[in-house]
Structure 1
Amino acid sequence: MKSYLAVLGSPGAWRFLAPAFLARLPYAMLQLGILLLVQWSTGSYGAAGIAAAAAAVAQALVGPQTGRLADRYGQPRVLIPQVVLHALALGGLLALAAARVPALPLVAAAALAGASVPQVGSMVRARWAHLLGRSGRLGTAFAVESITDELTFTLAPVLLVALSTGFSPVWALLMALVMVVAGTLAFALVRKGAPEPMPVRVRSQGGVLRLRGVAVLAVAFVALGTVFGSLQVGITSSTAALGEAAAAGPVYAAFSGASFAGGILYGVVRWRIGAPARLVATLGLLSAATAALTLAGSIPLLYGGAAMAGFVIAPAVITGYTLVETLVPAEVRTEAFTWLNGSIGLGIATGAAVAGQLVDRFGATPAFLVPPVTTALAALLVLTFLRRLRPATESSSARELVTAP
Structure 2
Amino acid sequence: MSSPYRAIFAAPGTRAFAVAGLVGRMPLSMLGIGIVTMISQVTGRYGLAGALSATLALAAAVCGPLVSRLVDRYGQRRVLRPVCAVTVAAVAALLVAVREDAPDWTYFVCVVGAGLTPSLGAMVRARWSAIHHGSPELLHTAFSFESVLDEIVFILGPILSIGLCTAWFAESGPLLAAAFLGVGVLMLTAQRATEPAPHPRGQHHGGSALRTPALAVMAGVYVGTGTVFGAVDVATVAFADERGHKALASLVLASYAAGSCLAGLVFGLLRPKGSAAGRFLLGITLMAVSMIPPLLVGNLWFLAGALFLSGLTIAPTMVTALGLVERLVPRSQLTEGITWISTGLAVGVAAGASLAGRVVDAHGASAAFAVPASAAVVAVGVAVLGNRRLRPAPEREEPHGHGEDVGDANGWAGRDGEWDSREGVA
Q: How does 1:374-389 map to 2 (within 5 A)?
A: 374-389=375-390
Using the alignment, how far apart are the partners of 1:112 and 1:277 within structure 2?
40
CA RMSD across the alignment: 1.7
Given residue 205 of structure 2, which amino acid in structure 1 is its aligned partner?
V
For 1:36-65, what per-residue CA distance to the aligned partner results, in whole angstroms no more than 9, with x for missing partners? 122223311111111101101110111001
Instruction: Tell me if the contact between 2:39 and 2:45 (Cα under 8 Å) persists in the aligned partners.
Output: yes
Shift in Å, 1:146:
0.5
Structure 2 SS opposite 1:193: coil
Aligned runs of 1:72-83 on 2, under 5 Å? Answer: 72-83=73-84
The secondary structure found in structure 2 opposite 1:184 is: helix
Structure 2 length-normalised TM? 0.89
**What are the Cα deviations for residues 244-301 of structure 1, in whole angstroms up to 9, with x where unaligned?**
2222111111111111011112222211121111111111111111121111111221
The change in CA–CA distance for 1:368 and 1:192 in structure 2 (over 3 A counts) is: farther
List aligned pairs for 1:389-400, cutoff 5 A.
389-394=390-395
Match of 1:120 in 2: 120
Instruction: Give the superposition deviation at 1:355.
Output: 0.8
**Correspondence 1:354 to 2:355:** yes
* Cα distance in 1, alignment partners of residues 40 and 81 from structure 2: 31
8 Å CA contact retained: 1:42, 1:103: no
Structure 2: state its 5+ residue gaps: 399-426
Deviation at 1:392, TM superposition (A): 3.1
Residue 134 (structure 1) shift: 4.5
**Which deviations, in whole Å up to 9, do the C-alpha atoms of 1:156-211 show, x marking residues without a partner?**
111112111111230222122222111211211111321111124435x6x21111
In structure 2, what residue type is equivalent to 1:122?
A
Alignment-derived partner of residue 205 in structure 2: 202
What residue number does 1:274 align with? 275
Indicate the structure with greater helix content: 1
The residue number in structure 1 matching 2:18 is: 17
Q: Given residue 381 of structure 1, which amino acid in structure 2 is its aligned partner?
A: V
| Aligned: 1:258 with 2:230 | no
- 1:137 positional shift: 1.1
Q: Secondary structure at the match of 2:312?
A: helix
TM-superposed deviation, 1:141: 0.7
Paired AA for residue 157 in structure 1: P
Residue 328 of structure 1 aligns with an amino acid whose one-letter code is V
SS in 2 for 1:315: helix
The answer to whether the aligner puts 1:140 opposite 2:138 as a matched pair is no
Matches within 5 A, 1:43-82: 43-82=44-83
1:86: which partner in 2?
Answer: 87
For residues 302 and 315 of structure 2, the distance between their equivalents in structure 1, rounded to whole angstroms, comes to: 21
Cross-structure match for 1:108: 109
SS in 2 for 1:137: helix
Provide the residue aligned with 2:181 in structure 1.
Answer: 180
Provide the rounded CA distance (Å) in 1 between the counterparts of 2:165 and 2:84.
23
Aligned counterparts of 2:68 and 2:365: Cα–Cα separation in 1: 38
Q: Percent identity?
A: 35
5+ long unaligned stretches in structure 1:
398-405
Q: TM-score, normalised by structure 1?
A: 0.94
- Summarize deviations over 1:127-171 as a string: whole Å, max 9, x none: 000000142211111111111100111111111121111112302
Q: 33-42 vs 156-165, which deviates more?
A: 33-42
CA distance in 1, matches of 2:186, 2:13: 17
Aligned length: 395
* Aligned partner letter, 1:131: I
Q: Return the alpha-carbon distance in structure 2 between the equivalents of residues 298 and 396 of structure 1.
A: 51
| Match of residue 316 from structure 1 | 317
Question: How far has the Cα of 1:13 moved from its partner?
Answer: 0.2
2:411 is matched with which residue? Answer: none
> Deviation above 4 Å: which 4+ runs of structure 1?
none
What SS does the aligned partner of 1:197 have?
coil
Are the counterparts in 2 of residues 90 and 177 from structure 1 also a CA contact under 8 Å? yes
Asked whether the equivalents of residues 68 and 118 of structure 2 are also in contact (C-alpha less than 8 Å), the reply is no
DSSP 3-state at the match of 1:218: helix
